[in-house]
Amino acid sequence: MSINRFLEYITHEKKYSHHTCAAYQKNLTDFRDFCTEHYELKEIEQVDYPLIRAWIISLIEKKNTNRTVNRKISVLRSYYKFLLRTETIKISPLKLHRPLKASKKLNVPFSPEEVNRLLSGDLFPHDYLGILQKTIITLLYYTGIRRQELIDLKCTAVDFETNSIKVLGKRNKERIIPLLLGARDRLIEYLNYKKELSAPNTFYFFCMPSGLKVSEGFVYETVNHYFSIVSTKVKKSPHMLRHSFATHLLNNGADLNSVKELLGHESIAATQVYTHSSLKRIQEIYSKAHPRGKKD
């Protein structure tokens, strides 16, 4: 089946993350189920654009946003590009498709005051679970690493001699991130608690009291719960800490290319999405520094 071949391709050759591959599989399966239910098609290699358009309409009717629909169609586009490359089809049914108009989503990062209020306050329990949760939030904010990168962080990847961590990012690309003293001290404190566990995980750095490595859900709930105490922001997720990390660096004069390397982005365009939050700060600096700005 071509879907299985495509999934093997993005898993083994493109080195997409497990999370991404699972999302691709679900999107393709959902589309195939739609074709089977409404058009009695069990395979989706030879579909035409009117059928895809019918699926788009059904997605909109189910209250999916244009952004969500575009993301699902992007998966289909990648799938049909693969079929073209393997000469399974001659023309992509999405050749003439144009993405739906979607308003730009503005995610407001946490403020430095909100982060400081959480990490400097006495909001975490003084036990292993509390230290684990505080360390997770600390590392996410101090380094800007992704949730999955934190979950997969190995014990051997943390080097206290060089004060750095080795992160395995998307498509198995490694990068080295320096550790500031605040993060380093928090990691050491966490390890002292971890040693007291009856079965500490010696392979993965972060683990539950049972010894199992932390899950995606646990990391998300940790960030969401504690930031709900100090922030009224709508979105409170691990990615928002990554967003805050990049924005705060840029606001304080960090070079865009340096932030790009820290985040593990392949292109500068991916990092520039965070610059909109820095615009107000840039305008303030600009108005104070420009000769005419001082007079105006």
Q: Catalytic: 98?
A: no
Q: Catalytic: 24?
A: no
Q: Determine which one of 194, 236, 260, 265 is catalytic.
A: 265
Q: Determine which one of 72, 242, 248, 260 is catalytic.
A: 242
- Which among 268, 291, 273, 224 has a CA at the least distance from the CA of 106? 273
Q: Catalytic: 97?
A: no
Q: Determine which one of 134, 146, 236, 248 is catalytic.
A: 146
Q: Catalytic: 67?
A: no
Q: Catalytic: 146?
A: yes
Q: Catalytic: 80?
A: no
Q: Determine which one of 24, 79, 226, 274 is catalytic.
A: 274
SS (H, E, C) the chain: CHHHHHHHHHHHHCCCCHHHHHHHHHHHHHHHHHHHHHHCCCCCCCCCHHHHHHHHHHHHHCCCCHHHHHHHHHHHHHHHHHHHHCCCCCCCCCCCCCCCCCCCCCCCCCCHHHHHHHHHCCCCCCCHHHHHHHHHHHHHHHHCCCHHHHHCCEHHHEECCCCEEEEECHHHCEEEEECCHHHHHHHHHHHHHHCCCCCCCCCECCECCCCCECCHHHHHHHHHHHHHHHCCCCCCCHHHHHHHHHHHHHHCCCCHHHHHHHHCCCCHHHHHHHHHHHHHHHHHHHHHHCHHHHHC
Q: Determine which one of 170, 175, 184, 235 is catalytic.
A: 170
**What are the backbone angles phi and psi of residue 55, rounded to the nearest 5°?**
-65, -40
Q: Determine which one of 97, 235, 239, 281 is catalytic.
A: 239
Give catalytic residues, as residue numbers.
Answer: 146, 170, 239, 242, 265, 274
